[in-house]
Amino acid sequence: MSAAPDKWRPSLGLVIFAVLTTVAVLPLVGLFFFRLYDNQLIRQTQAELIAQSRVLATIYAQEVAARLDSGLTLGAEVPPGVLPDPGDQVTPIRPALDLTANDLLRRRPDAQPAPKPAQPAYVEIGARLTPIIRETQKVTLAGFRILDPQGVVIAGRYEVGQSLAHIEEVADALHGQYRATLRNRVPDRPPPPIYSFSRGLGVHVFSAMPVIVNNRVAGVIYTTRTPSNIFDHLYQERGKFVLAGLAVILGTIAIGLVFSRTITLPMRELIDRAARIGRGDREAFRPLRHYGTREFAQLSHSFLGMAEQLARRSDYIATFSAHLTHELKSPLTSIKGAAELLQDSFQGKPEGLTPVEQKTFIANILSDTQRLEAMAQRLRELARAESLPQNERTELAPVVADLRSRFPASSIEASGRLDRAIGMSGEKALIVLSHLADNAMRHKARTIRLEAVDERTTLLVTVSNDGEPISAPNRDRIFDAFFTTRRDQGGTGMGLAIARAVMASHGGSIRLKPTDEGAAFELQFPIA
């Protein structure tokens, strides 16, 4: 398999650090979005000033209308395009100030001396409205100034008798046009440290509402107010804000520790275990110190289990290869020696063999050849036995019939649930039973009995015979490859090892049962 492309990949620790950093920074990034909130607060402030100014303008207009007969002079005529549609009973003035779209003007210019004083009638109207605007100011915190048609302040907390006609928004209102502006202000205290996040901290909203009587300007309601601002509140509650920041930092650290405990540390330990296993360290198969999550525990168990199985498999292959080399060496050496002696005899050497000796050596060659053929056949069966099953299914009844055909000299008796389907092919089931029967025949058994019992999840089959019993010292070794007590009779010592390999590869098992006579084996076949 080709190696993976050698490209940069972030480590898990780096990914976790990036995630945690993002989590920690998100609250700070959110501060920039407060400008949108500031803008909404400015529009809300403008809407409130419009409503308050309109109420005062209505009262002011009534006072002016009541005094028109006394010679009260009105201001400029309102252009036709500025007047509302006479047929429209509702003409709302919608707030339109925008921190991003509107120019932020310089602070409001100071009042100037009036070119001429206001008419006494307007001064009288201002005096009547002064208590109203003072009480209103106590609640709304807005600044109110009432101007006559010339822009002279006739009512207000400050600047009474002075002119504001030179101010841009007032000039527009004196010509009948409502105008609102944003202006810089001089704070009465140092701005909070987070001032730079919000322009709304340093602005005043100014609203100039014209008072129109008989399509002429009778005066202006000039109002101002500082919009509410969330950062001012945050500054006032800076202690709580610091605690919240510390909570975010501590929470981020806690999340990092949890990630490290549950993911990073177990993964690093598993990587170390994999490297140690690759170097052949068998101590690395012990469980991890920390598993972290349930899923990682399952992954670790699966990985270590697989590694342990591969290690056992490697040991088995190494042991098997050593035994196989030993088993092949003996007949090959015998065949080679006999062939060399026969060759010397045919070449007419003085020490040549007699005809009887030649026949003996030829028989030995044939016997060893047959043993090698039997061993090769067993190796093929072993390779097939350890192959993974592929949706295999059979019943024991036809397998028993084939077994009787293969061993016609033996009496094979079968009973029980032979019609129960098992998760194994008929060929592999026959291999298992054939090796048990062959082993029984080599130990002088006359009768072989099979009894099948349905255990719901497995089919329990007991295979017994009346042959020679297995000695106590050999009972623990009978399933070892190449172990045999009948080597002189052609035994390879692989029959029971193959039977166990077939059963294990299909999720079954085989074991030796204690018995008073002969030998008995208990087989557990998986149910299909």
pLDDT greater at residue 338 or residue 116: 116
Mean pLDDT, rounded, of the chain:
80
- C-beta separation of 217 from 174 below 8 A: yes
Instruction: For domain 24-236, give the fold.
Output: Beta-Lactamase (3.30.450)
Number of H-type helices and E-type strands within the chain:
12, 15
- Which CATH code of 1.10.357.10, 3.30.70.1070, 3.30.565.10, 2.40.360.20 fits the domain covering 386-526? 3.30.565.10
Coil, helix or strand at residue 157: coil
d(CA 373, CA 484): 17
pLDDT tens-digit map of 141-178: 889 999 999 999 999 988 999 999 999 999 999 999 99
Sign, Cα dihedral of 231, 237, 240, 242: positive
pLDDT at 197: 41
Retrieve residue 346's tokens: 């045919």
Distance of CA 386 to the CA centre of its chain: 38
pLDDT at 289: 77
pLDDT at 295: 76
- Is pLDDT of 265 > 50? yes
- C-beta separation of 478 from 487 below 8 A: no
pLDDT at 90: 63
pLDDT greater at residue 6 or residue 367: 367
pLDDT tens-digit map of 480-489: 766 666 555 5
Question: Of 70, 362, 36, whose CA–CA distance to 199 is shortest?
Answer: 36
Other Cβ atoms closer than 10 A to 18? 11
pLDDT at 302: 84
Retrieve residue 46's tokens: 């403008």
Q: What are phi and psi of 445, to 5 degrees?
A: -80, 140
pLDDT tens-digit map of 224-250: 988 865 556 566 666 876 887 788 788
pLDDT at 198: 42
Retrieve residue 230's tokens: 């969330």
Residue 110: burial class (beta carbons within 10 Å; 0-12, 13-18, 19+) = exposed
Coil, helix or strand at residue 150: coil
- C-beta separation of 523 from 461 below 8 A: yes
pLDDT band at 126; cut points 50, 70, 90: very high
- Which of 13-17, 45-49, 122-126 has the lowest average pLDDT? 13-17
d(CA 405, CA 420): 21
- Is pLDDT of 196 > 50? no
Q: Distances in Å between the alpha carbon of 432 and those of 323, 370, 476, 527?
A: 22, 22, 19, 16
pLDDT at 36: 67
Greatest CA separation for the chain: 168
d(CA 287, CA 304): 8
pLDDT band at 124; cut points 50, 70, 90: very high
- C-beta separation of 277 from 284 below 8 A: yes
For CATH 3.30.565.10, list the domain ranges present in the chain: 386-526
Q: Per-residue pLDDT averaged across 372-387, rounded?
A: 68
- The one-letter amino acid code at 465 reads N
d(CA 284, CA 273): 5
pLDDT at 288: 78
pLDDT band at 7; cut points 50, 70, 90: low
- The share of the chain scoring above pLDDT 70, in percent, equals 77
Dihedral of CA atoms 454, 458, 459, 465 in degrees, nearest 10, equals -120
Residue 356: burial class (beta carbons within 10 Å; 0-12, 13-18, 19+) = exposed
d(CA 469, CA 109): 121
- C-beta separation of 161 from 114 below 8 A: yes
pLDDT at 522: 94
- The share of the chain scoring above pLDDT 90, in percent, equals 29
- C-beta separation of 266 from 290 below 8 A: yes
pLDDT tens-digit map of 415-447: 999 999 998 888 889 888 988 998 888 888 889
Retrieve residue 426's tokens: 């008929």
d(CA 472, CA 434): 24
d(CA 109, CA 492): 115
d(CA 474, CA 499): 17
pLDDT greater at residue 94 or residue 187: 94
Q: How far apart are the first and last CA of the chain?
A: 36
- Is pLDDT of 379 > 80? no
- C-beta separation of 282 from 311 below 8 A: yes
pLDDT at 514: 86
Q: Per-residue pLDDT averaged across 16-35, rounded?
A: 70
Q: Per-residue pLDDT averaged across 358-363, rounded?
A: 81
For CATH 3.30.450.20, list the domain ranges present in the chain: 24-236
- Is pLDDT of 350 > 70? no
- Is pLDDT of 6 > 60? no
- Which of 17-21, 233-237, 456-460, 496-500 has the lowest average pLDDT? 233-237
Q: Strand 104-105 relative to strand 179-184: parallel, antiparallel, unpaired?
A: parallel
d(CA 60, CA 66): 10
d(CA 277, CA 283): 8
- C-beta separation of 53 from 209 below 8 A: yes
